[in-house]
Structure 1
Amino acid sequence: MARKAAAAVTSADVARLAGVSRATVSFVLNNTQAHRVSEPTRARVRAAADTLGYVPHAAARSLRAGRNNLVLIPAAVSAIGRLVSGWIDELHAELERYGYTAVLHAGRYTDPAAAARAWAELRPGAVLALDGASLTPQGAQVLRRAGVQALMALAPRPVEGVYTVVFDHQRVGALATEHLVAQGRRRIGVVMPRERGLSAFAEPRLAGARSVAARTPAIVTAVDMEYTHACALELAHDWAARGLDGVFAYNDEYAALLLHALRDAGVDVPGEVAVVGCDDLVTAALQQPPLTTVRLDTPSAGQLAAALHDLIETGTAAPLPAVEPVLVRRESA
């Protein structure tokens, strides 16, 4: 015999236990500043809610407020490295200051239109696409028709109908490769992570590296790599056969893994091969040798949160500076 589901706790239950009206429960738990409620009453309502295990209904709260407070951030889990995860954590905190709730959406879609429909089903107040290619003008129309108030994307060029923060991954790959060429490297590998979700960032970085090769004597070769010690060791032991004297390793995490594997295999860095990463993580400077990398100067989480708030409230926001890649030269290249 199937067990009957327990009835959901409602604000009416909290009101009865606390000896107040449902309106007072709403004012307290939604932190409504326009209505004055004494501290003893607030404490009694919170205690009743804790006792019953009650939490406010986000969708209902949005309807009452006339504003949807959900900010959807589509991002494949595998694409969230240390730099991005820290940045998203800061963004969560900044959005909370404005009363928004940020939610990561880890769905995988090869078709941007299908992605937009999936996001629209959740009826968020705003969408922030870290992979600008996933938010097209057609997708923007789908989301607008679903009532999404603000659309923001990090993309290499402006997207029609979307507030765009310019982030050109091709420039990242080009900058790293230009440095390797300037150091006399002519056979350059570009690490292409095998993990799903990273190709959207890795492919334009490879294209940027190839654009440098097209105007210099360098030859660029894609190097597939899993983020595992075994794969890094296999690559390192096969390095001589590949004949590569430089490598742009996608980011600092892949670069550090490959750097250690090369050293374990007896490959001299930077003597035989120069290594460049990206993100300028704290650990990059602690590698042996210290890792040359590309730092990404991005708008702060506070700036993005403020822009999203303006878009939701007014439909417009002042432009934000583009993400600027900056070479940080150390001993590995």
Structure 2
Amino acid sequence: MVQIPNTSASAPPAQRSVPTSADVARLAGVSRATVSYVLNNTSAVRISEPTRRRVHEAAEELGYVPHAAARSLRAGHSRMVLMPAPAIPVGPLHGQFLNELQWALSRLDYTVVQHGALGLHGDDAARAWAELRPVAVLVPGQGLGPQGVAVLKRSGARAVVTLGPTGVEGAHALLMDHATVGREAARHLHARGRRRIGVVVPEESGLEAYSTPRLDGVRQALRGTDAVVTELPLGYTEEAAARLAARWRGLGLDAVFAYNDEYAMLLMRALQDEGVRIPEDTAVIGADDLMLGRLLRPRLSTVHIELPSGRELAELVDRAVRDPGAAPERHEVLGATVVHRDSS
């Protein structure tokens, strides 16, 4: 007797076919061209709202999503906007800006991709970004040079936008000079009668792009006055703050610009533990205007930083993608104003 093996238990389930735009068109009762127009947000063709709704409902029911590579071939470029992943943890202010930017770009039908390239910098990083063929690249900080911009453009990037203190040849630039933050903090402390001013310089790697210009801004603002500036390296730990606070009286400082609100809160708590009165003995000012600083006692004085809106940057990217031959735009976008509270 020949036994027929039962293979039903071990047989893999039948693989479902990947839904296509033709499937969406059949379910919605429209042409494939209409599906393409609707799902690619084509503005050149007018599609009624009921038709758009039917197409979206059909695509959702079938689980259909457009093929990014195929769409890129049809358009002649991708819709990917690449941003290098930050090498350091971003603060609340920067994080809010990035979230707003990603939302604004998605509204313009771009996909934002963060690229991690550990160990790669400058033009080497640009070559790694170029491999993904983005339509635009947003580069925070410094390090990208004209050669890197050229590599990106040869790979198909229609827009390269840098965000930092200086621009790069061939790229659009949002100029963010953090020296203005230090200048505003120093002018405030000097106007309050403080003459022996310390400036916190974080020891954490990667913050130099912000801390160095802020220190320079303090020195610029106080040059030619009777004030003395003391640089204060500080790691972001309770132990480091306690060590600095323990020798505070020997430093003879009557004020400190603590780089930002987080370092200011860290140092202020350590100074209070040492019996240093704030602001009577030492005035303290931070930067970023975080909510937590308003809840401290004494309430923390700060420099409120005004960044460009994510919508404005998204519109710049879109303009550059639509007109890649236009001259690079450069905009001064970082504003700074002092918010005077109890700590100074």
What is the TM-score when the length of structure 2 is the normalising length? 0.81
The gaps in structure 2 that reach 5 residues or longer are 1-11
Describe the superposition over 1:103-131 as per-residue Cα deviations: whole angstroms up to 9, x where unpaired: 23343557422232222222211112221
Which residue in the other structure is 2:5 paired with? none
Which residue in the other structure is 2:74 paired with? 64
**Structure 1 stretch 28-37 or stretch 305-314: which is displaced more?**
28-37
Which residue in the other structure is 1:89 paired with? 99
Tell me, yes or no, if the aligned pair for 1:190 and 1:220 is still in contact at 8 Å: yes
- Please give the residue correspondences for 1:11-22 in structure 2 after superposition, counting only pairs within 5 Å: 11-12=19-20, 15=23
The gaps in structure 1 that reach 5 residues or longer are none
Shift of 1:22: 7.6
Q: Distance in 1 between matches of 2:41 and 2:316?
A: 23
Shift of 1:95: 0.9
What is the TM-score when the length of structure 1 is the normalising length? 0.83
Q: Structure 1 residues 57, 262: closer, same or farther in 2, change over 3 A? A: farther
SS, match of residue 165 in structure 1: strand
Shift of 1:309: 0.7
Q: 2:337 aligns with which of 322, 326, 333?
A: 326
Which residue in the other structure is 1:138 paired with? 147
Q: 1:117 aligns with which of 108, 115, 127?
A: 127
**Structure 1 stretch 82-91 or stretch 214-223: which is displaced more?**
214-223
Which residue in the other structure is 1:187 paired with? 196
Q: 2:185 aligns with which of 160, 166, 176?
A: 176
Structure with higher helix content: 1
SS, match of residue 88 in structure 2: helix
Tell me, yes or no, if the aligned pair for 2:300 and 2:341 is still in contact at 8 Å: yes
Q: 2:311 aligns with which of 288, 302, 306?
A: 302
Describe the superposition over 1:72-92 as per-residue Cα deviations: whole angstroms up to 9, x where unpaired: 223525241000001111111
Which residue in the other structure is 1:265 paired with? 274
- Please give the residue correspondences for 1:224-239 in structure 2 after superposition, counting only pairs within 5 Å: 224-239=233-248
Q: Percent identity?
A: 43
Q: Distance in 1 between matches of 2:22 and 2:128?
A: 35
2:275 partner letter: G
Q: Distance in 1 between matches of 2:185 and 2:53?
A: 58
1:127 and 2:137 matched: yes
Shift of 1:264: 2.8
Q: Distance in 1 between matches of 2:91 and 2:146?
A: 28
Q: Structure 1 residues 328, 75: closer, same or farther in 2, change over 3 A? A: farther
Q: Distance in 2 between matches of 1:267 and 1:309?
A: 52
Q: 1:198 aligns with which of 192, 207, 228?
A: 207
Which residue in the other structure is 2:4 paired with? none
2:215 partner letter: L
Q: Distance in 2 between matches of 1:210 and 1:8?
A: 67
Q: Structure 1 residues 86, 41: closer, same or farther in 2, change over 3 A? A: closer
The total of aligned residue pairs comes to 324
**Structure 1 stretch 120-129 or stretch 102-111: which is displaced more?**
102-111
Shift of 1:168: 0.9
Q: 2:157 aligns with which of 148, 157, 162?
A: 148
SS, match of residue 233 in structure 2: strand
2:145 partner letter: T
2:333 partner letter: A
